[in-house]
Structure 1
Amino acid sequence: MAINSANNISPSRFDSSAQPFRLLGIDPGTTASEIHSALSRAREMHIARETSLAEASAAVLDPVRRLASELSYPLDSAPDRVGLFYTERPVDASDDDVLQTSTQFAPLSAANFIARHAVRRGVSSELLLGLIDAHNSIDVMEIYQTLQALRNRAGWPPPSLASVRDGLDDLLDAHCVAVIEAYDPIEAAAEPLLEATHQILATREPTLIQTHSPLLEAYRHATAKVRINADQQVDSACHALEQQPGDASSVERLAETLHVWTSLYEPLLLLDARQELDDGETNVTPDRVFGLLGDLSSQRHYRTAQQVLEHALVAFGSIPDAAARLAKVGDILREMLQAGSTAVVQNPGLAVPVRSRTVPHVRKAALAVAALLVMLGLLVAYWAFDGGAAFSVASAPNPPDAKAEPEVLPPVGKGQRFAREYVRYCRFQEERLRVVKQQVRGPEDIRAYNALANDYNSRCSDFFYQDEDLRAVKEEVIAKQKLLEADAERILATWPWRINVGKVPAAASR
């Protein structure tokens, strides 16, 4: 259900005094002639402004437009409950009081009643749950049959079942948008929404989770600007730490910005994880932190990297892919710290053996460094485990030619000046991805390919280069066409769901 559909809903639907049937003193079973008479009486009594009365009558006299007014009326509740429905609660009425009163109505009436009170202020998670539960309990067929009976009695053409279903969907969207936008500041919606999302996901009821989704989509839209600002704050904190890796205050600042980021994103991350969605928007900040870990490790600031890792584990624990990669980074960092404490001089620019007998430890540390840098360099690669196996954007083995020119993974970023080895990677990887894309089949392949493409774009979409370097690399791409195609096939062969088939694809012929 698209949130945009709620833009067609009038805010007056949440104001009981402006509800068209209520304003004119009629109900959905009223005939056209009775509506005209009610309009005349309302004008004589000056019940409301002329424009409001005219709009109300126009809304209920139009067979298409009246559906929205009918669905905001307590038409599914007993007649003796209509007065209670329109009775205004005290301004300081508690959420518990609103919920308790709502139990006296049928589901559609309860949803409208809760929404009317919820839009007045930011509400608790209990009231959010009450709203979603009421919507989830609405029986579309029952509402359709009720509307048929009312319209037949009043001489109106009955609505279609599809239009009733769409109207209820629009009503849910409108309620969700209005409830979320009632929080001031909008960040205040995060905590109650997170709690409500936890409880709804814990039920494992697909229909309830689906009904809850528009509420999260309304939150996603309403918090877009503040979440972008949170992304920027984390990026700024990462940059500061890259400039001063040993500054404890910079680590603390990063921790604070990650906490803010998590508080804003976590309601969305919970649902995305439940639905196995890969939202590129939520990957921006985790990828930035992985880049920071790579930078700190390359400078051998392992202790600082460990601190950053600890904060990242808390922040990104709701993102399965990021959590898995962080756990692996943690294993390698611990190995480096252990080896480095006895074998490596902690100098950002130099590592030397203390004694000749410690050479094996130095080699072990060097291997760990290399492993970490490769993994962090491939920070947006799709990460999958099968007996400990994983693949990356550079899965292909080293080419057989020992004299081949170096191909180096560029750092993430834009507008950088690339040396030839970086340009070589970008053009070679572009060719590999071209071949991989031709063989993508099914959702698992699509997710894996998108991860590779995202990683490539994060490094190679915008950079400066020497014309001579590009010319030379283009010639190499032509000369190494078959090797690059074979590389692409090896990447495909490392994907776990393909490994399980037990057959490694051969290089594609061209």
Structure 2
Amino acid sequence: MAINAANNTLPSGFDPSAQPFRLLGIDPAATASEIQAALGRARETHVMPEKSLAEASAVVLDPVQRLQSELSFPLDSTPDRVDLFYTELSTDASDEDILQTSSQFAPLSKANFLAHHAVRRGASSELLFALIDAHNSIDGMEVYQVLQALRHRAGWPPPSLASMRDGLNNLLNAHCVAVIGAYDPLESAAEPLLQSTRHILETRERPLIQTHSLLLEAYRRANAQMRSKADQQVDSASQALRQNPGDASSVESLAEALQLWSSLWEPLLLANAHEGISDPKANVTPDRIFDLLGDLCRQRQYGTAQQVLDHALVAFGSIPDAAARFAEVGEILREMLHASSTAIMQDRDLAVSAESSRFRHVKKAALAAAVLLVMLGLLVAYRTLDGGTAFSVSAPNPPQPAAEPELLPPVGKGQRFAREYVRYCRFQEERLRVVKQQVRGPEDIRAYNALANDYNSRCSDFFYQDEDLRLVKEEVIAKQKLLEADAGRILSTWRWRTNTVGVPTTSSK
């Protein structure tokens, strides 16, 4: 992997020749007079430009500024290990050579050593893991005691324990930013970061995972614009496929856009899934594909819809909620494809053959299509509003103020639900109660049961805070009319109904 050209000039904590103590030929135990003498010698030998020497001496002579330079120095290493730390490895040194050398250092020195070489060469997943593990192994109190002893010998006041801890956090952040910035092109960071993320999550060591999250955050900030462009590519490809659903090249363009989107997002999505976090920005593209699937099914382009679904299942496999929803759609779509393979689906406005055997196939396929459209209509209703995903099936005009977030809970039992999940369960319970009152005939029953089964898989058994449940129950009462309107919208998507279903103006409690 190449070094990003913009990062060829390394920060002082990463470039040994620019490390202030090393540049002046001293260590952190040097007194003020020893620093001045070292400065004079460095000027005489012209080891560095005058400006660099002046800046280095100013830093180490300032009790506050010198802390970061102390922490980037191998201060927790013995003198012979300090020399080893500054011995340059060859540019073609293997990861094995780097890791073997780094194993001889104490954690702080090891972290600095690994960061220096990771920035120079572009880090493999092994180097990324080793860097985070080294930072996680640093004992703050041991480092503080070393600093106290060094400053005492040098005649400097010791830093506070809090400032020293802040300094270690700053060092970790600086390492993460520099390591991510060294990849060229930036998207080449995705694969090694994904592998290191998997490795770290497999350890199940909470402190290590938390330390690694800072590396992921640096990656998130660095490729935010790139991920936004990938989302736009998916949007453009989706629009092209809507206009020409039978074009194989359009499907291929969408597949490529989804693959790029997935590769850029996957390290972040993997960590989010482990932490049970839902990133609203990550839901935009899956929802866009749900919209596309709905349009393709309305156009009866079931084969193309299946191709899109196949690519979506791969792209969104790291988003548990989206993956589960796509899998549910896939089951119905497969039934539609099977049913439609034995009989040509008739337009609902055209006469259907009275032959009983063919009619059964047509009716089965039509029912499957209707159920799929109902499900898609519900799934695409989850949208990002003020940092949460809100359910809304009301008309888009006039604009409504953002509601309290309502999140679709994951499938399962015995889980502890935040208020957003409790809100979905109580709101959906009320919607289904109203829908049930309007169920007529076998098609309605099957569609209702599909919704009820999905609800039960998520909301039949969960733990909650009493205060959350109390507030949500109040919201159900306050939003009764809106929830009834939601129910009416669900009913309106049942396309086998020949008449518009009215929403009841009153309902029994």
TM-score bracket for the superposition, by shorter chain length: 0.7 to 0.9
* 2-structure distance, mates of 1:224, 1:139: 33
* 1-structure distance, mates of 2:165, 2:406: 43
Counterpart AA for 1:353: V
- Residues 179 and 346 of structure 1, relative CA distance in 2, 3 Å threshold: farther
1:64 alignment partner in structure 2: 64
Question: Aligned runs of 1:407-486 on 2, under 5 Å?
Answer: 422-423=395-396, 430=400, 433=403, 444-446=418-420
Counterpart AA for 2:40: S
* 1-structure distance, mates of 2:396, 2:282: 28
Question: Aligned to 1:508, what secondary structure does the other structure show?
Answer: helix
Which stretch shifts more, 105-114 or 368-377? 368-377
2:174 alignment partner in structure 1: 174
1:131 alignment partner in structure 2: 131
* 1-structure distance, mates of 2:44, 2:402: 78
1:196 alignment partner in structure 2: 196
1:329 alignment partner in structure 2: 329
Q: Quick check: 1:231 aligned with 2:205?
A: no
Runs of 4+ in 1 over 6 A off after TM superposition: 434-437, 450-453, 501-504
* 2-structure distance, mates of 1:225, 1:505: 41
**Structure 1: unaligned runs, 5 residues or longer:** 1-8, 384-391, 395-408, 411-421, 454-482
Contact preservation (8 Å) 1:128, 1:196: yes
Question: Aligned runs of 1:75-474 on 2, under 5 Å?
Answer: 75-345=75-345, 353-357=352-356, 358-380=358-380, 393=391, 422-423=395-396, 430=400, 433=403, 444-446=418-420
Deviation at 1:78, TM superposition (A): 1.0
- Residues 500 and 280 of structure 1, relative CA distance in 2, 3 Å threshold: closer
- Residues 14 and 371 of structure 1, relative CA distance in 2, 3 Å threshold: same
2:53 alignment partner in structure 1: 53
* 2-structure distance, mates of 1:134, 1:376: 47
Contact preservation (8 Å) 2:391, 2:406: no
Contact preservation (8 Å) 1:177, 1:218: yes
Contact preservation (8 Å) 2:291, 2:380: no
* 2-structure distance, mates of 1:70, 1:432: 50
- Residues 450 and 161 of structure 1, relative CA distance in 2, 3 Å threshold: farther
**What does the per-residue CA deviation read over 1:177-197, in whole Å, with 9 as the maximum and x for residues that have no partner?**
111111111111111111111
* 2-structure distance, mates of 1:450, 1:115: 45
Deviation at 1:376, TM superposition (A): 1.5
* 2-structure distance, mates of 1:362, 1:48: 84
**What does the per-residue CA deviation read over 1:424-476, in whole Å, with 9 as the maximum and x for residues that have no partner?**
7x67xx59957989xxxx962225769999xxxxxxxxxxxxxxxxxxxxxxx
1:508 alignment partner in structure 2: 477
* Superposed CA RMSD: 3.5
Contact preservation (8 Å) 2:425, 2:459: no
* 2-structure distance, mates of 1:316, 1:436: 21
Contact preservation (8 Å) 1:12, 1:19: yes
Deviation at 1:156, TM superposition (A): 1.1
- Residues 23 and 307 of structure 1, relative CA distance in 2, 3 Å threshold: same
Contact preservation (8 Å) 2:405, 2:420: no
- Residues 220 and 87 of structure 1, relative CA distance in 2, 3 Å threshold: same
**What does the per-residue CA deviation read over 1:362-387, in whole Å, with 9 as the maximum and x for residues that have no partner?**
3433332222222212335569xxxx
* 1-structure distance, mates of 2:258, 2:82: 49
Question: Aligned to 2:121, what secondary structure does the other structure show?
Answer: coil
Deviation at 1:268, TM superposition (A): 0.9
Contact preservation (8 Å) 1:345, 1:352: no
2:488 alignment partner in structure 1: none
Counterpart AA for 2:198: H
The alignment's TM-score, normalised by the length of structure 1, stands at 0.76
* 2-structure distance, mates of 1:146, 1:153: 11
- Residues 56 and 333 of structure 1, relative CA distance in 2, 3 Å threshold: same
**What does the per-residue CA deviation read over 1:41-88, in whole Å, with 9 as the maximum and x for residues that have no partner?**
212222211111111111111111111000000000111111111111
* 1-structure distance, mates of 2:349, 2:331: 23
Count residues with an aligned counterpart: 429
**Structure 2: unaligned runs, 5 residues or longer:** 1-8, 384-389, 408-415, 438-450, 480-509
Counterpart AA for 2:373: L
2:15 alignment partner in structure 1: 15
1:472 alignment partner in structure 2: none
Q: Percent identity?
A: 62
- Residues 28 and 279 of structure 1, relative CA distance in 2, 3 Å threshold: same
